[in-house]
Structure 1
Amino acid sequence: MLTDDLEKQARRRAGAKMGWYIHATVYVAVNALLAMISAMSSHAWAFFPAAGWGIGLAIHGLVVFGRTSGLRERMVAEERRRLLQERERLQ
């Protein structure tokens, strides 16, 4: 049972990282295209969507790679511990 939980957790974390890599790839591709279109026009406007989207990409990266990525697991473990204590107390 423990190996199944570890496998699920490993797959979930790998999926989250892959999601960020895909997000970053799309960000670079779309913003490169926008920069080319902006360069052909008389106004330099491509910075604004790149900056806004970049903030979102940075937040996504912090959630996936930062310290908060283990927050949910710690909260689940704490709730599991509390439920087990309640169950033992009621028996």
Structure 2
Amino acid sequence: MELNFNEEDRYFSAKKKVEKIKGFYGNLASFLGVNIVLLVINLLTSPEYLWFYWPLMWWGLGVVFHGLKVFDVLPVLGKDWEEKKIKELMEKEKNNNKEKWQ
């Protein structure tokens, strides 16, 4: 299904994309800031046991997936997949409603 967008729709779509990118950069900045603080706390309180890399690793994995989604790198997380899934769910709901009233 190909959609025809007018100028207002394209603007709204671009604005939404920019908000998602802005959210990603906010997440990335928080990730860096908090993990630097955790590193400093770890090195000052218990340098013999390094635990700071656990939140760094797991939150980092989340940041990577967030970036992949925002920049449309993974097709399963992209807009095309969302549109197909929405269409599929709408069709399923339509069929369920028909069956209920027959």
Which TM-score band (shorter chain)? 0.7 to 0.9
Tell me by how many angstroms 1:74 deviates. 5.0
In the TM superposition, 1:20-39 aligns within 5 A as 20-39=24-43
5+ residue gaps, structure 2, are: 88-102
5+ residue gaps, structure 1, are: 80-91
Bigger proportion of residues as helix? 1
CA RMSD of aligned residues (A): 2.1
Q: Does 1:71 align with 2:69?
A: no
Identity score, percent: 26
Tell me by how many angstroms 1:41 deviates. 2.0
Count of matched residue pairs: 78
**After the TM superposition, which segments of 4 or more aligned residues of structure 1 sit over 2 Å from their partners?**
67-76
In the TM superposition, 1:3-18 aligns within 5 A as 3-18=7-22
Aligned to 1:85: none
Q: Deviations over 1:47-82 (max 9, x none)?
A: 000101001000100100124433257539xx5xxx
Residue identity opposite 1:47 in structure 2: Y
Residue identity opposite 1:19 in structure 2: G
Normalization by structure 1: what TM-score? 0.75
Q: 1:10 to 1:72 in 2, by over 3 A?
A: farther
Tell me by how many angstroms 1:12 deviates. 0.4
